[in-house]
Structure 1
Amino acid sequence: MTDRVLSIPLRGAWLPLVAPFVELRRHRLLLYRLVVRDVSLRYKGSVLGFLWSMLNPLALLALFSFVFGVVMHARWGSAQQNFSLVIYSGLILFIFLSDVINKAPTLIVQNDNYVKKVIFPLDVLPAVTVGGALVNLLLAMLILLAGELLLTGALPWTWIFAPLVVLPLLMLVLGVAYFLASLGVYLRDIAQVTGILAMVLMYLSPILYPVDMVPPEYRGWLDLNPLTLPVNELRQVTLQGGFPHWGTLGLYALFAYAILVFGYWWFMRTKNGFADVL
């Protein structure tokens, strides 16, 4: 079945800026099928199957809640019942990010048959990885919604802004996935580094502790973490019932868009050499 799209003439300087979206739209049917396949294969043969996508974040939530809430008597404000929700709201964004950056460096290497044997749009592969992680993120956010409703008995209407908070992070992660997928072909050590990087990003972001606990002279380093703003903004709209900080979120979105354009450009610029290396 041919995936028909509206042909839009793109010329000059505009082409690199919109190329990722044009190509993903052009291959949207293939992308959808590969994401479904990726999600189904991930839990194929397991007894609980798709339920693992929800049990994994819940298990981490229980672990961190016990360590920081019971053992270390950590508090996030005055409401102990919200401590788990606060931790969980940040944890699900970290899981989304780490899932992608840990898989991206070996993505092309593990799918070398697409590089060597068939004519295939290789730029779809990083998007498939991000799409599979996004499915898990959406399920995790449903758990957050249900947990908040169960523990507090109400939901703030500002929940409707949650997609606007996640979208910039999605663009940034996709751009990083393009870059790492390409770099991992030429530099295999990247796959070893990303696991360490993921842990650094988690502990240097306000997932397990509030920003106020960090000495003022070190808070600037937390702001450089790509997880810090999405984590704070998601809590703002889902747990605190406040509006996003539109100006800061807009600047983050521009930065994320630049990362996406650069990552896609890098991938397309280097993909012709994949076959020679593999």
Structure 2
Amino acid sequence: MRLLQMVCLVLLSTLSTCALSAVFTFTAIPDENESQLRTRFEKVALYLEKELGVEVKYVPVKSYSAAVTAFRNNQVQLAWFGGLSGVQARRLVPGSSAIAQGNEDQFFKSYFIAHKSADLLPSDSFPNLNGLTFTFGSKSSTSGRLMPQFFIERNLGKKSEDVFTRIGFSGDHSRTITQVQAGAYQVGAVNYKVWETAVENGTVDLEKVNVIWQSPAYPDYQWTVREGVDKKFGAGFKAKIEAALLGMKDPDLLKSFPRHSFVPAENADYEPIESVAKAIGLID
């Protein structure tokens, strides 16, 4: 009996040590310049490490689809997704949960921006984009592709490929702004937060490119946690992650998103995104 007790104690000690030594990893969709993302999310890693009491590592990825793949393959346990990429990830890993979103993400918007050569003025009415060139962001972007495509096709009554003479996919919102400002495309769709930050930082030439239309609001970015984190890191770990994200109050950390605060989120919040993605054929 004494030997059995000793074996059990050794096993428990080993399990505890493994739990403590496990590295908690997270990623984020690459919606901006890679160096900016690394700076902002390495700060987040240090914050989470302090709050969660385990080693935390930020894992950069090259594309939205790579973020979803990393989540599916359990290379990361937490991800800062857009609305569509979050839906895709949770469909691939049942039991995973949206747990926090920026306060602004409940009412997100896309901006349509145009080069001066398009001769389009800002308007509350949807612009006539027929015959122009247009760039989306990433193919899996909610604010840079999914919702803009939906608004284009709903308002103009035909498929995007029948509206434009040429369509591009820049890969991220910063590149969309750069390409439209340079005149490579006449019009593009961007995340309104990225646009406003770029204007604030003085990296946009408003003599060459400006906002011509803003979309109605929709739900977008969120933190999604993979199923099984309590099993890997200990009972209650998922709740600790949620508390840490909702408790992120440091203005410098929040500015890097940029968000004023984080609020609770759940999978049901993103059902409208899933419905739109099905309606325009981006998911089954």
TM-score (norm 1): 0.23
Give the number of the structure whose residues are more often strand, by fraction: 2
TM-score (norm 2): 0.23
Give the greater-gyration-radius structure (CA): 2
Give the number of the structure whose residues are more often helix, by fraction: 1
